[in-house]
Amino acid sequence: MPGSTGAVDASGTADVSAAAVEASESAASLEAAVVTHVPRPRRRDGDRFPAVDRAADRAPEFVGQGPPTYEAEPTAWPEADPGALDDLVPDTVLDGARYGAMTLRAVSLRGDSARYRGEPRRDALLTARFGAGDDAVVLVAVASGARAAEGAHRAARDICSWLGGAVGRSHARLGEDIRAGRRGELRTGLHRLTDRSYGRLRARAAELGLRPAEYTAALRCLLLPADARCRTRVFFGVGGGGLFRLREGAWQDLDPEPRADGAPGGLPAAGTAALCEDRITVDLGIPTPGTTPAIDPEEVPSEPFRFRASVARPGDALLLCSAGLAEPLRGEPALADALAERWGTRTQPPGLAEFLADGQLRVKGYADDRTACAIWES
């Protein structure tokens, strides 16, 4: 009957509403019992700390004539494959250590462009210690996959892993050569290990059905002895990137790209004379009897193997980086000045968070991945 049905519906609704109210009050009382209010901290004089002014939060930092085009923070992740989650690459990697007279800070950041487009970071970073005590050697490897190539991040990761494994298996002999100052043996041995690693990369490209140019990466490495009594720092690699030294407040480009005299670009000329202080063994493309390029298929332009061994001084800061940081460092004087001011006037190396902030100091027109390792000498 209509009247009876309406009475039942009204009664049921009332019962449900009452139950909902009772449940809500019960949940509120339970939350009040579980969640305690933490009093705001006070200074020793009894005054409370001022409230945080959100409007005064520090804006993302940049140098140059204007703010970069893209946002400062990540916006999109790459699409994930449920069956290959181990292939995912984090947006940022941060690492650090201290051995002997060296303090190391390393960071790898996805570029502004890749963050906006939801593309993976093409740069790879490997930091590893082989051996123990004074006989240990530290390896830092930085690799950048080919631009716009599918699987570029995998190629960068593979070359770091394979080269790192080769160096690790030979670390005892390499450490002896570093401590004894045998530069010729170091160059030959590291050239051979690098060439073999690139050979594996070419073989991997063939397995994937790709041309070698589609599955390759630039590689830059530092090999450092943990023994505080040895200040020899060994650099080697193939392809683009940078090696810089901050000495007495001025940047020195230790790995300049071949360019015509008087061509624009590069850091201040103060570094030019300083290059003569150490023996340079960087191959700038001049054929050397008995050696072969590290990359030698017809489809890939030949890249020279680069090597340099130098002696560090207390107060030096050595910077190894991918092209994503090397290019703005050479092309935007304001960035070089800012990092020189931050790193050259301090008595202690920056902490990890501070180094991360320094590494992502942005410049308009430069939106590639950035990977860098800095070594402060005490």
Half-sphere exposure of 205 (CA within 13 A, CB side): 25
Concatenating the DSSP letter of every residue in 99-167 gives ETTEEEEEEEE--HHHHHHTPPP-EEEEEEEESSGGG-EEEEEEEEEPTT-TTHHHHHHHHHHHHHHHH
DSSP state of 37: P
Query: CB–CB of 223/178 below 8 Å?
Result: yes
For the sheet containing 123-130, what is the strand order?
123-130, 137-145, 217-225, 232-238, 305-311
- What tens digit of pLDDT does each residue of 47-61 get? 555 554 544 455 458
pLDDT at 63: 77
Q: Where are the beta strands (DSSP E) in 62-112?
A: 62-63, 92-99, 102-109
pLDDT digits 0-9 by tens, 119-150:
999 999 999 999 999 999 999 999 999 987 88
Distances (CA, A) of 106 to 121, 140, 321, 358: 16, 9, 9, 11
In this predicted structure, the answer to whether residue 339 has a pLDDT above a threshold of 60 is yes
- The H or E element containing residue 287 is none
pLDDT at 26: 60
Q: From the centroid of its chain, how far is CA 299?
A: 29
Report pLDDT for 68.
77
| Cα distance between residue 344 and residue 342, in whole Å | 6
Q: How does residue 331 score in pLDDT terms, banded at 50, 70 and 90?
A: very high
Give the pLDDT confidence of 357-374 residue by residue, as tens digits: 999 999 998 999 999 999
Q: Judging by DSSP bridges, how do beta strands 62-63 and 92-99 pair with one another?
A: unpaired
Spacing of C-alpha 204 from chain mean position: 24
Contact between 95 and 138 (Cβ < 8 Å): no
Counting other chains too, the contacts that 85-92 makes at CB distance below 8 Å and 24 or more residues apart are: 87/154, 88/120, 89/120, 89/121, 89/153, 89/157, 90/121, 91/115, 91/121, 92/356
Q: What share of the chain has pLDDT > 70, as a percent?
A: 72
Asked if the model's pLDDT at residue 80 lies above 70, the reply is: yes
Output 71 or 126, whichever has higher pLDDT.
126
Would you say residue 240 has pLDDT above 60?
yes
Q: Looking at residue 221, what is its pLDDT?
A: 97
* Distances, alpha carbon 332 to alpha carbons 65, 72, 182, 363, in Å: 10, 18, 37, 8
Per-residue model confidence (pLDDT) at position 19? 58
DSSP state of 45: T
pLDDT tens-digit map of 196-212: 999 999 999 999 999 99
Token digits of residue 111: 């570029």
Residues of the chain above pLDDT 90, percent: 62
Task: Compute the distance between CA of residue 317 and CA of residue 377 in angstroms, rounded to an integer.
Answer: 6
Q: Is the pLDDT of residue 281 over 80?
A: no
Across residues 267-284, what is the average pLDDT? Answer: 34
Q: Average the pLDDT over each of 28-32, 75-79, 230-234, 314-318 and give the range with the smallest value.
A: 28-32
The predicted pLDDT at position 255 comes to 83
Q: How confident is the model at residue 21 (pLDDT cuts 50, 70, 90)?
A: low
Give the Cα separation of 291 and 40 in Å (integer). 69
For helices 152-169 and 171-180, angle between their N-to-C axes, nearest 10 degrees: 70
pLDDT, mean of residues 86-111: 95
Burial 60-70 (b: 16+ CB within 10 A, else e): eebbbeeebeb
Task: Report how far residue 308's alpha carbon sits from residue 255's, in angstroms, rounded to the nearest whole number.
Answer: 9
